[in-house]
Structure formats: structure tokens, C-alpha cells
Amino acid sequence: MENPERKTGYTGPWNVEDSLDLYGVNAWGNGYFGINAAGHAIVRPDWTEGREIDLHEVVTGLAARDLSTPVVVRFSDILRHRLTRLRDAFATAIAENEYQSRYCAVFPIKVNQQRLVVEEIYGYGREFGFGLEVGSKPELLAVMAMSEGSSDRLIVCNGFKDDSYIEAVILATKLGRTIIPVIENFSELALILKHAKKYDVRPRLGVRVKLASEGAGRWRESSGEKSKFGLFVTEILDLVDVLKEHGLEDCLQLVHCHPGSQLQDIRRVKDAVTELAHVYAELKQMGAGLQYIDIGGGLGVDYDGSRTNYESSMNYTLAEYASDVVYRIANVCNARGIDHPIIVSESGRAIAAHHSLLICDVLGSSQLDRFRVTETDEQMVREKKEIPQPVQDLLDAYRSVSERRLVECYHDALQAREQALQMFSVGYLGLEARGLVERLYWATCAKIRDLCRKLDSVPEELESLETILSDIYFCNLSIFQSLPDSWAIDQLFPIMPVHRLDERPTRTGVLADITCDSDGKIDHFVSLRETKRSLELHDLKPDEPYYIAFFLVGAYQETLGDLHNLFGDTHVVHIKLHDEGGWWIEETVKGDSAAEVLRYMQYDVERLVPQFARDCERAVREGRITLPESQAMRRFYEAELAGYTYLEP
């Protein structure tokens, strides 16, 4: 295999261009991220050159305000920019296709339910006439209040609906909201009719179509005949009949589908939209009062920047998506001579992913190539009369490593180590000798790897050495809490150091979090070639913090996170560009304290402190500690309960 390491090399000069290239920033950054001359990662929230936010400056600025990492940093200006781009892409497609209606995005709040995020999206979306999508009753309750004074803006209601969910929808209709419950199963229709009658309102309603065209990728089962949601065509026809019986056919205003999230292949989008457009057209011709065609979510995010149909990427652009959607709907409607509907998309990921990133500090690293074979070791082998053969073989392998004998020496070392470990297991090898075996083996591997790095082409068997020998960087975060999709579905997120990007990264590593679970690690990294099994990082310097950023985490990560090991929500800061230049912190949301996460788990925190205090008193009485010591312990306990759940400097 061609040696990718040769390109980055391990010696020689290095500049920020090299880092841009190595981490693929221009590919996945989508114009929002870069590196400045100081070697710091930067954010360009509205793509304007010069209006840049230095992430290292942000981290140090937050530390000065007593906000330590891990921290989620949000950029509201990116949200606004994403919404504008979406509007612009559809506006262009609408003009190019002489489309006679408009486009409206409804943001599915499940993608990031944080109040500030939803409020910002709703606020920025006002000028474009964008709305919101909810998937549950609690989400609806939030949106019902938030949409006060915006009756004309669309609210789409998906998900399973019980009696009170439907009642809430009907009440919102009565209040004048443009709200459409999407019927996902037939029983919901009766509830709508019941509440519409009770409150004497003419409801709007939509229907989710079970498309025959299946989705693709991880969420392929969101669509297709086996999908959890949606009505079969037969049921939709029945629904129209029932509506007609009640003289309500004009109330059926929207057809909906959701072909799956992160659609990586544009063909899936085209198939789903075409099928849905035909359903729309036929129902319209049958007398339904349709006005909206809702193509659901699915617009992807190119997490790895490869522009391929790989799971973490997408093989189309936003412009192409908009163009295909508009063209296909127009085509079907033109052919059947019906008016063009308002196109609705429930794009979540594409709106929210870019706007937030997570920064954590590295607590330390573990290096397998740190083992050295010393003169004392060699002497030990020389002087021992009966040195076990595998140990001798390992020393020979270590000494013989040369460019011509790389594979051979690797095989010898592997075999000798295996034999030595077997001898240890049956008691024929002492602990000291086993330590020597360990040092010899890893030092041999490191020698072989170092020579491989100089080769144009690495022998296949030695390709994995780079990964095997990569370091473990311990990161002050919980992957379960902050990057759940990385753990649950192997989703890739771009990851890069926040600083020192003008320096050559001389180490490669995988990332481990601070939970006590071996699953809490990241060992796959984005790359334009193949997924990388380790990430290029800098040597840690004593007493100097090292920060790593995880990008494109604004969609789904926060709300899916859990409290594994009771690591709670991280701090969140909302950062905005200032009109007069620079940036400012618009809002800070403190992360969970230990007391808060304990409360989530039903601990009565008010009782914990007296309980602990009693124990301290007992220890004083029994003379095990002094009174001042007891007081100090209580203060410590109380302060820790109020403190951050993550490691603090």
C-alpha cells in the first residue's frame, strides 16, 4: 500500500497549510472552519474572511471566566448562515425551474431541543417564513408557546399521537396557528375528528405516506413498506373517503414522507420525492385540499468531506438537493396540470450540525513506543546462563531490524513473544523476564514502524503497526454524554487540535474518555482516503494544556447523550460575532453539577450532606480525625457536590 505517512512525514518544516491538508479542514469545514497564522483553529461563522473567531482565544477566555473544558461552543451566526443558504438554494432552484410556489423549512426540534437553539432558529427563520416540526407532545407544548404572534408560520406535528396530543393541536388551531398534524396511523384520524367537533374548528391535516422506495444508509428503515410510520396507499384512500363523508376533504392539506436521515446518495432523494409527488398529484385530483408537499428530513452533512456516498458523507451538494427536489415536483405537477405546492422540508441535521463544536482538554497519554531496551537489559541477557530461548529470539529480532528484514523480524518478534507468554503462564518465566519480553517486543515493533515510515510502500502485514502503536490520549469528556452517535452508530466527526497547528504533529493516537467503560473511545477518524484508525496529534508538553475540538456536533448529540458514570451536561456557551469586530459571549449555560446529576438519579441530595456530616462527627468523637479536619471534609464534600462533574484544572 502507498504510504500515506510519507506525505505528512515525521521530520522537516511544517506550516498551517500542512495542517489544513492533514485534517481535511477545507473538505469538511464547508467554509466555516480554518486555521490562522498562529496555528489556531478558527471559525468563520458567516464565511466572511476576516470575521474570524480564534478557538484558542475562546478556550482561554472561557477559562479566565471560570468555565473549564469540556465545553460546547455554539455559533448563532452559523445557524443564521445555514438557514440563509437553505433559503438561497431553494430560491435559485425555484427560479431556474419557473416553480410557481415557495419553499418552507420546518426545523425538527428533536435535532437540538435546547431552548436557545430553537429560539434562534425560529427567530432567524422569521424573514424566510420558516417554521418548526415537533415529534411529541412535550415538543408541541414548547412550540405552542414559542410561536405566539406567528400564526402564519407552519408547525408540522409528527410522531405517535394520543388523545391529548391531538387535543393540543386542535387548541392551537383554534388559537389561529398554522398547525398540521401528520396522520401516521389510521387511529389518529378519529381523534382529530372528535376534537375538531368538540372545539368546532376546521382542522388542517397531513398524511405520512409509506413509500415503496426504500431509504438508504443507517436510517433506511424510516421509509419503505416496513417502516414504523406512515399509511399504506389503501389506507390513504380510505382516509380520503372518511374525510369526504364528513365534508372535510379540503382539510387534507399536506402529504409527507421521511426517507431517512443523512441520505448519502442523491438517488434516494430523487426516488422518494418523485413517488411522493405522484401521490400528491393523484390525491389533489381526487379533491383533497392539498397545498403542501413535505419531503421530510434527510438532507445530509458531509462529515468527512469526501463528497461520496459513504455513510458519513453525501454525494451531492445543497444546490443539487434543492434543484432535484424542485425539478421533480414541478415535473410531476406540470405533467398532470396541477398547481405547484409549497415545498416543505424538515431539514434538521443540515441546519444544526455545523453550528456547535465541543472542546476538551487532554489529561495525558499512554505510549506503547515508550519502551526502550537498555544496555542493562542487553547485559542481563548476556550474563544469564540459561536465558529462555524466546527471550533470546526477541533480542535477536530487536537487533536485526533493518529495512530489508522488516517483515521477517516482525514475524520473529510475534512468535517469540507468544512463546514467552506461554512460558509465563505455566510458571517457567519470571516477572522480571516478562518485563524484559514486553520491552523487547514493543521496542522491536517501534523500530520496525520507524523504518516503515521511510518507505514508499509499506508491506501489507506491517500496515497495522502504525495503529497498534498509536498512543491513547485521555480526553476530559464523556463520549456517552457528548458524542453518543460516535459510540452508538460509529458516526464520524471531524476532530482536530485547537492549537499548535503550525507545528508538526509527531504522534498518532486514539482518544479515550474519562468514563470507566472501554467503549468510551474514538478510534476512527475522518479522512479523504480511507477512514483513519488513529489521529495525528502533538506531543504533550508538561504543564501546558492541550485542547482538541470535535466539530459538526450541533445535531442530535446533546439530546441523545446520557449520564454514564454520572458525567452530566457540559458547559455551553453561545458566541456571536460583534458588529464592531471580534466576538462576545451572548449566553452561558453552566454544565450539570454533581448534585444535579445525583438528583436525576433520585438521590436526595439534601440528605446526603447531613449523612456525610454525621459520619464526620462520629469520626471526631472516636478520635480518628480532629474537628478542623472534620470541618474541612464537610466543606470539601459540599463544594464537590456543587462542582462540575468533569475533571477541573
Ligand X SMILES: Cc1ncc(COP(=O)(O)O)c(C=O)c1O
Instruction: Work out the angle between the directed axes of helices 431-452 and 406-425 (0-180°, nearest 10).
Output: 160
259 touches ligand X (CB under 6 A):
no
C-alpha cell at 582: 471580534
Of the candidates 334, 299, 303, the residue with the CA atom closest to the CA atom of residue 319: 299
Is the Cβ of residue 33 or residue 229 nearer to ligand X in the bound state? 229
Is the Cβ of residue 111 or residue 573 nearer to ligand X in the bound state? 111
CA distances from 28 to 526, 606, 639 (A): 9, 47, 42
Query: Which residue's entry shows cell 381523534?
Result: 191
Q: How far apart are CA 395 and CA 416, in angstroms?
A: 9
108 touches ligand X (CB under 6 A):
yes
Q: Which of 125, 297, 509, 520 contacts ligand X by CB under 6 A? A: 297
Is the Cβ of residue 158 or residue 534 nearer to ligand X in the bound state? 158
Is the Cβ of residue 520 or residue 561 nearer to ligand X in the bound state? 561
Q: Which of 53, 180, 299, 329 contacts ligand X by CB under 6 A? A: 299
CB of 496 to ligand X, least distance (A): 24
19 touches ligand X (CB under 6 A):
no
Is the Cβ of residue 120 or residue 294 nearer to ligand X in the bound state? 294
How distant is the alpha carbon of residue 598 from its chain centre?
Answer: 26
**Measured distance between the N- and C-terminal CA atoms of the chain, rounded to whole angstroms:** 43
Q: How far apart are CA 383 and CA 285, in angstroms?
A: 96
Please identify, among the stretches 168-176, 231-239, 347-355, 561-569, the one whose residues bind ligand X according to the rule CB under 6 A.
347-355
346 touches ligand X (CB under 6 A):
yes
CB of 117 to ligand X, least distance (A): 14
Is the Cβ of residue 58 or residue 236 nearer to ligand X in the bound state? 236
What residue is closest to ligand X based on CB? 297
> What HEC string does 153-175 produce?
CEEEECCCCCHHHHHHHHHHHHC
Is the Cβ of residue 198 or residue 228 nearer to ligand X in the bound state? 228
111 touches ligand X (CB under 6 A):
yes
Question: Applying CB under 6 A, what is the total number of residues that bind ligand X?
Answer: 15
121 touches ligand X (CB under 6 A):
no
Strands (E), 102-192: 103-108, 131-134, 154-157, 178-183
Of the candidates 47, 149, 117, 27, the residue with the CA atom closest to the CA atom of residue 88: 47
CB of 154 to ligand X, least distance (A): 13
348 touches ligand X (CB under 6 A):
yes
112 touches ligand X (CB under 6 A):
no
CB of 339 to ligand X, least distance (A): 25
DSSP state letters, 269-289: HHHHHHHHHHHHHHHHHTT--
Q: How far apart are CA 101 and CA 252, in angstroms?
A: 18
Q: How far apart are CA 190 and CA 426, in angstroms?
A: 74
Q: Which of 215, 298, 305, 554 contacts ligand X by CB under 6 A? A: 298
Strands (E), 578-636: 583-589
Is the Cβ of residue 108 or residue 484 nearer to ligand X in the bound state? 108
As beta bridge partners, residue 156 has 133, 180
Non-local (6+) Cβ contacts of 643 within 8 A are: 593, 594
CB of 91 to ligand X, least distance (A): 19
181 touches ligand X (CB under 6 A):
no
206 touches ligand X (CB under 6 A):
no
645 touches ligand X (CB under 6 A):
no
CB of 167 to ligand X, least distance (A): 21
Q: Which of 44, 349, 564, 576 contacts ligand X by CB under 6 A? A: 349
CB of 57 to ligand X, least distance (A): 31
161 touches ligand X (CB under 6 A):
no
Is the Cβ of residue 39 or residue 554 nearer to ligand X in the bound state? 554
Of the candidates 453, 481, 440, 457, the residue with the CA atom closest to the CA atom of residue 600: 481
Is the Cβ of residue 24 or residue 206 nearer to ligand X in the bound state? 206
Q: Which of 296, 341, 505, 554 contacts ligand X by CB under 6 A? A: 296
User: Is residue 520 a contact partner of residue 567, using CB atoms and an 8 Å limit?
Assistant: no
258 touches ligand X (CB under 6 A):
yes
Is the Cβ of residue 156 or residue 458 nearer to ligand X in the bound state? 156
Q: Which of 76, 227, 261, 309 contacts ligand X by CB under 6 A? A: 261
Helix, strand, or coil here: 3? coil
Please identify, among the stretches 29-37, 255-263, 514-522, 631-639, the one whose residues bind ligand X according to the rule CB under 6 A.
255-263
CB of 353 to ligand X, least distance (A): 8
Q: How far apart are CA 132 and CA 154, in angstroms?
A: 7
- Say if residue 70 is preceded by a cis peptide, omega within 30 of 0: yes
Q: How far apart are CA 419 and CA 400, in angstroms?
A: 19
Query: Which residue's entry shows cell 417554521?
Result: 131
CB of 349 to ligand X, least distance (A): 3
Q: How far apart are CA 402 and CA 404, in angstroms?
A: 5
CA distances from 517 to 478, 564, 647 (A): 10, 9, 17
Rule CB under 6 A: which residues touch ligand X? Answer: 108, 111, 158, 258, 261-262, 296-299, 346-350
